[in-house]
Amino acid sequence: MIAVTSSRLSERLSSNRRRGDSGNRWIRVAMAVLATVGVIDTGSITLERWGLFGNLSCPGGADGCDRVLASAWGTVLGQPLSLFGFLAYAAATVLALLPLVFRGESKARLASLSWWGLLLLSTGMAVFSLVLMGVMVFKIQAFCFFCVLSAVLSLALFVLSLIGGDWPDRGQLLFRIIALALVVALAGLGWAAAADPSGSPIAEGRVSPPVTTTSSPEAIALAEHLTESGAVMYSAYWCPHCLDQKKLFGREATELLTVVECAADGRNSQKELCDSKNIEGFPSWEIQGRLEAGAKPLERLAELSGFPPS
């Protein structure tokens, strides 16, 4: 009789576990979909920062994404910050899908461990995303759609991991969440303060990274011609495409160009002039009274300015 009762109890527990796994399956699928969107979001930004992807169009923020991603907070250890977001979303995708692939007795333990992994990972991602949102709003003062999307995805993953996991000890759950959130928040705020360029001794304004490429004789001749003909390049120190344009010319030729700084906090800023010209994107060229937006090949600039071919 005892053996029969024990067997029935075991079958009932096993049945309940299967029903719980079945219900959580859809939460796992939803988390995998959201994490995949995050992988695409951060992966696209990373490839764009590496120069392996075309320019990303920032919905609702014009050049705000460029300003945010090219800021002092957009790089960590010499790599785009988005690369670390990509790795985090990729890990979340694996953790969400892995228990759905395995079968047998190991599945239950793997499912439990993966829920803890998802919860702790999404907690760290959500807290750090909130730190980044604060930096974006109060320090950079620009709007980046891709950054906001990443923050929303992180928070959604956190909520779903709370709903989907089986948490018998709520006290331990709350303790771990609070402890991890405090650690990530303090680390994130410390990193944000250390990366803040406002404490720089350069009081006259911020400048773009130096151009290190060497100019060809043709690039120098073109730069001299552009300057003599009154051509102007409207730029912003934080604009990566402006730096790419300067690299095409090289260091020596860039020094010969007439470059107008449009960022309000840039060195020798002429923001009012840029506003009067209705400059909407960087770089923008003013050649023979006409505005041409975007970085241009040197051949195109020679054609627009009437520079005779060598």
The pTM of the whole model exceeds 0.85:
no
Contact call for residues 285 and 233 (beta carbons, < 8 A):
yes
82 and 166, same domain (yes or no)? yes
Q: How confident is the model at residue 296 (pLDDT cuts 50, 70, 90)?
A: very high
Q: Which residue range forms the structural domain that includes residue 235?
A: 217-305
- Is 204 part of any domain? no
Three-state SS at 178: helix
258 and 138, same domain (yes or no)? no
158 and 110, same domain (yes or no)? yes
C-alpha dist (Å) from residue 52 to 44, 79, 127, 239, 253: 9, 14, 30, 17, 26
17 and 84, same domain (yes or no)? yes
**To which residue do tokens 């303790």 refer?**
175
Token readout for 271 is: 């923001």
Most confident of 13-27, 103-117, 195-209: 103-117
More confident residue, 49 or 124: 124
On the CB side of 308, CA atoms within 13 Å amount to 1
Helix axes 2-49, 106-134, angle to 10 degrees: 40
127 and 247, same domain (yes or no)? no
Percent of the chain with pLDDT over 90: 52
DSSP letter string over 279-305? --SSSEEEETTEEEES---HHHHHHHH
Q: Which of 129-133, 160-164, 226-230, 236-240 has the lowest mean pLDDT?
A: 236-240
Residue 107 has pLDDT above 70, yes or no: yes
- What CATH number is associated with residue 276? 3.40.30.10
- What CATH number is associated with residue 34? 1.20.1440.130
142 and 40, same domain (yes or no)? yes
| Residues whose CB falls within 8 Å of the CB of residue 300, separated by 6 or more in sequence, listed in order | none
How many domains are contained in the chain? Answer: 2
